[in-house]
Structures are given as C-alpha cells and as structure tokens.
Amino acid sequence: MLIRKVTVCVARIPLLMMGIMGFFGIVSPVIAGAGQQPQFVLGEVMIKFRPGAEASAAVSRAIQSSPPNLDSLAPVARLLTEKVEIPLRAKQVSSGDWAVFDIDLDRLASQAAAQLSKRDGVTDVQLRDSEGSGINVPKVKDLDVTFRAGSSSSTAVEDKVAGASEGGFAALVDEMGRLTRLPLKGKAEAKSHLVLQIDLQALTSLLAERLRGSTDIVESAQLNYIMTGM
C-alpha cells in the first residue's frame, strides 16, 4: 500500500480537513470560526450558479465526465469575464455544482498595459517579472510605465524619486487604478518611470464582489479558503 507523506504547516492546522478535501478534488464553502483567520487562495473564486441558468447546467454537464470537462466551461468563463471585466478561466468543478474559476493573470496584465498605453502622456508600457512574488503566490507581471518628459505625470514620478511631496505621485497611482479598474500599488524608479503592481489580494476580493453583483446567473460567489497545497 502506497503511503503518502503529508507535511502540514502548524499555522494552517485549522484548515487541515479542508486541505484534505481540496487534495481529493472536493470543493466546499468554508466559514472561519471565531478567532480564526484562514488565508484564501489568491486569484481564485468559488461560484455557484443560479438553478436553471445555462451556466449551472454547464457545470453539471462538466462534472459528469472523468476528469471533468473544463473546456466545456469556456463559454461560461467568457460570459463572466464580460460581466466583471477580469479575464477568468475554469479551474475545477465539484459536487453541489460549485465551480472554481481563476484569473488569467497574463491576459490581465496585457489588457492593463494596453489600456495604460492609450493614456495621454504615456510613451511606453512594458511588462516585467514581479520581484515581490512569494512562495505559492501566483505570478503577475508588473507594469513599467514611461511618461513623456516634462509632463505632469513625469514630474510627479521625479518628485517621488527625489523624496519630495508624494501627493502628486499618490494621485497618479490612483488615476492609473481608475483607468484600468484594478487595485494598483506604485513605485517610482528611474526618471519618468512608474512601476505599477497589481494587488492580487485586493483584486481577488474585488472579483468576488463583482461576481456577487451578477445576480442574473450567480447565486453565490466567495473566496476560496481551501488549502490546495499539502
């Protein structure tokens, strides 16, 4: 009999049972007890569609095959993407017609770069590897934005680099967030360069919130507190 060695982080012991369920492909909502602070999976949401909706029927059909036919949920992912303006992919389905969707991070970064490049005063936008990704943290590209020399945006970045007033820089980062409709963090590097980082934790919460607003097809949407790594 094959014995699988399992190593569990002490800090995650309260989620052990849910981790075992996630390991065997069982998806179920998790509610944190008093004093517990479970960590949700960044970039993922759990969705239960309204009974009678085509999306719900698609999940039911997908789970009938082994392994589940996630490709058949591509139309559902496209529909959700249009509604929440965040590119999604079907990742997992389970009994109870729950489905896990995750964010297509490469596509998201490319879309954000395209939006930023259209802004007046932006001369270039490059995608680059993030330096802040930790263990088990999905990798999302940073956005390196270059502004036209002499523009107010360029001046705000240069003031930040020089350690001057940060008011203009903070306002600039906020503007970039409104333009892309994404939660962003910013840092000033070289002259006229603004490096924007997508806040994946805030984005995951925002995604769940937007999905809950799609009441025509979504019955429930929540963060995925299942421990997927063991």
The predicted structure's pLDDT at residue 164:
78
Residue identified by tokens 């698609």 is: 58
Domain ranges in the chain? 13-23+39-104+204-223, 106-200
Task: Tell me the β-bridge partners of 145.
Answer: 125, 194
**Residue 23, C-beta contacts closer than 8 angstroms, at least 6 positions apart:** 228, 230
pLDDT in tens, 84-98: 999 999 999 987 789
Q: How confident is the model at residue 102 (pLDDT cuts 50, 70, 90)?
A: very high
The predicted structure's pLDDT at residue 58:
93
Distance CA 46, CA 101 (A): 7
The three-class DSSP label of residue 75 is helix
Q: What is the mean pLDDT of residues 164-184?
A: 91
Mean pLDDT of the chain: 82
Q: Is the peptide bond before 67 cis (omega within 30 degrees of 0)?
A: yes
The predicted structure's pLDDT at residue 24:
35
Q: How confident is the model at residue 55 (pLDDT cuts 50, 70, 90)?
A: very high
Residue identified by tokens 């992912």 is: 77
Distance CA 107, CA 103 (A): 9
pLDDT in tens, 4-50: 433 333 333 233 333 334 433 444 444 444 444 448 899 999 999 99
Write down the CATH number for the domain with range 13-23+39-104+204-223: 3.30.70
Asked if pLDDT for residue 138 goes beyond 60, the answer is yes
Number of neighbours of residue 223 by Cβ within 10 angstroms: 20
Q: What is the DSSP letter of 12?
A: G
The predicted structure's pLDDT at residue 109:
97
Q: What is the mean pLDDT of residues 101-112?
A: 97
Among 50-54, 99-103, 131-135, 180-184, the range scoring the smallest mean pLDDT is 131-135
The predicted structure's pLDDT at residue 154:
93
